[in-house]
Structure 1
Amino acid sequence: MTPGIDARLRRIGTDGRYVMVPMDHGLTLGAVTGLKDIESTIDAVTRGGADSVLTQKGIAHRVHGNKNGAGYIVHLNGSTVIGPDSNDKRATGSVEAALRAGADAVSFHINVGSTYEREQIEKLGQLTDEAAEYGIPVLAMTYARGPDTEEDDPEALGHAVRLGEELGADLIKTGYSGDAESFESVCESTARPVLIAGGSPDGDRESLRAVRGAMDAGAAGVSMGRTIFQHDDPERMARAVSLVVHEGHGADEALERAELAD
């Protein structure tokens, strides 16, 4: 890695661990709960301990000034749930556009196993080359997602994260396999830091247990969106996740210390 990439990774994480809150869902889902007043949500999650937030480039002016010194990631592809196929992620910006928006890093989503895999692989390969020229880190969101792919299958997830490294990503986000034992093989599939997505667990305690399991398996943190920004108390939920990722607490202790009732 170059000094620029190393420096910017430190802006979006803490000591090699990461609590990211992606909020690019306005493109995918519209102005859902937590995103209408995105300024207040960004302020809350970063006060709670999020290391960085992530949006599409057009929201940048609503991010800066509300992120309390946290890092900023610009996402560079997307799709909508009302379109013909939400797996068909199309480019929405460039590294230069992200830098103009004040980004510390960029991210890109690939659905490994989908019918759009080939085009997305090509685009990610081009993006990592472009980003390297500017010394800006790339977060690859590599999901196991397609007609013949189980999204929590450890073998498919392991392939997905390795694909991210093979294409030059600096950080890799993927789904959680459901338990620490199986997710360990996913983390061992790459030398890059692995982050888990939030998924749809049943309640705060189960969300935090998934984070604890991923960390025990060797993950470097989370990139967790709606579980945090749509929470009744985003600040406290961000704090609870941060307590697990950065301070090594278990789910129960993190809930207690964050003053969350599950």
Structure 2
Amino acid sequence: MSNEGLLQTESGNAVVVALDHGIAKGNIEGFERPRETLKDTLQGGPDGIIARAPFVERYYDLLSETDTDVILAPDVLTYSTLPAQDDGDDMWTGAFSPEFVREFDPAGVKVVFNFGRKDTDLHRESIEYVVKLYEELRQTDISLVVETVMWGDNVPDGYGNDKKNLGNAVRIGWELGADILKVPYTGDKAAFAEIVDRTPVPCMMLGGPATTPEATLQDVEDGMEAGARGVMIGRSIWQTSDPAEMVRAMKRIVHEKQSAAEAGFSLP
């Protein structure tokens, strides 16, 4: 059984904008005024956004005017008890119950599964939460998206982008119930293609700290050629000078198979 409602587009792919940074990052650059950021993003016509339930309720008036799918993020990952700080302490929690999440009837639910934690109890709790979401969503049309990342203190430098290690993480993600995986791009098209080829559920590329729009679009092109089914990217979209145009450029690559050069993104 597989719930891939999020990918029921004409191309079978999707451009999703991540807007779930506020709890961990606070008023991060480009997201200081959430309503304006959301409005600018929606003007580009993304297939979906990722946000938490209170955000969706707060700005429902904007979302209700579009066909953009909502993917709820029901968990919280922070690294300090101080707001928007990083003390190196992984304080992940499954914040919202699966039952509550279902009330919103979202297109998908996205949960982080972070490998490399020192706290084995927290690792176990993360497993249990992913499985609870799987059990609650498996008889619905709601896609369970698992974000397999290696941000824990036990992860050696370079370990997280190694194709073998990332491939193992992805394997665990779908074996726990993921319908769709949100996966870091390795930076190597052949290596990423091998990971995607071995994975029986769709893989979508996650983003990271913004570099340049051109570099981001090239990564998207490479990832799509390697078999990705789209992107789930935040900062590399709404930290640009024109989030709507960045969304449109990604859609040209993801849906129309244009190259990064053809899709284009011109800074004013």
| TM-score for the superposition, normalised by structure 1 | 0.88
Work out which of the residue numbers 209, 231, 236 in structure 1 matches 2:245: 236
Deviations 1:116-145 (Å, cap 9, x if unpaired)? Answer: 433212221121111114442111011133
In the alignment, the residues of structure 2 paired with residue 183 and residue 237 of structure 1 have an alpha-carbon distance, to the nearest angstrom, of 23
Structure with greater helix share of residues: 1
- Measure how far apart 1:54 and its partner are: 0.9
Tell me if 1:127 matches 2:133.
yes
In the alignment, the residues of structure 2 paired with residue 221 and residue 103 of structure 1 have an alpha-carbon distance, to the nearest angstrom, of 18
Alignment of 1:196-235 (within 5 A): 196-200=205-209, 202-235=211-244
Q: CA RMSD in A?
A: 2.1
Aligned counterpart, 2:84: none
Q: What's the secondary structure of 1:65's corresponding residue?
A: helix
Q: What's the secondary structure of 1:236's corresponding residue?
A: helix
Deviations 1:11-50 (Å, cap 9, x if unpaired)? Answer: 6x55321111111100111122333432332232232131
In the alignment, the residues of structure 1 paired with residue 51 and residue 174 of structure 2 have an alpha-carbon distance, to the nearest angstrom, of 23
Number of aligned residues: 255
- Measure how far apart 1:201 and its partner are: 5.4
Work out which of the residue numbers 153, 159, 174 in structure 1 matches 2:162: 153
Work out which of the residue numbers 6, 11, 31 in structure 2 matches 1:9: 6
Tell me if 1:261 matches 2:263.
no
Identity %: 29
Aligned counterpart, 1:136: 142
In the alignment, the residues of structure 2 paired with residue 52 and residue 86 of structure 1 have an alpha-carbon distance, to the nearest angstrom, of 31
Deviating 4+ runs (over 6 angstroms): none
Letter in 1 for 2:107: D
Structure 1 residue ranges without an equivalent (≥5)? none
- Measure how far apart 1:88 and its partner are: 3.4
Q: What's the secondary structure of 1:199's corresponding residue?
A: coil
| TM-score for the superposition, normalised by structure 2 | 0.87
Change in Cα spacing, 1:30 to 1:78, as seen in structure 2 (3 Å) is same
Work out which of the residue numbers 36, 40, 43 in structure 2 matches 1:40: 36
Structure 2 residue ranges without an equivalent (≥5)? 82-86
Work out which of the residue numbers 47, 69, 73 in structure 1 matches 2:67: 69
- Cα pair 2:107 2:141 within 8 Å, conserved: no
- Cα pair 2:210 2:239 within 8 Å, conserved: no
Tell me if 1:30 matches 2:26.
yes
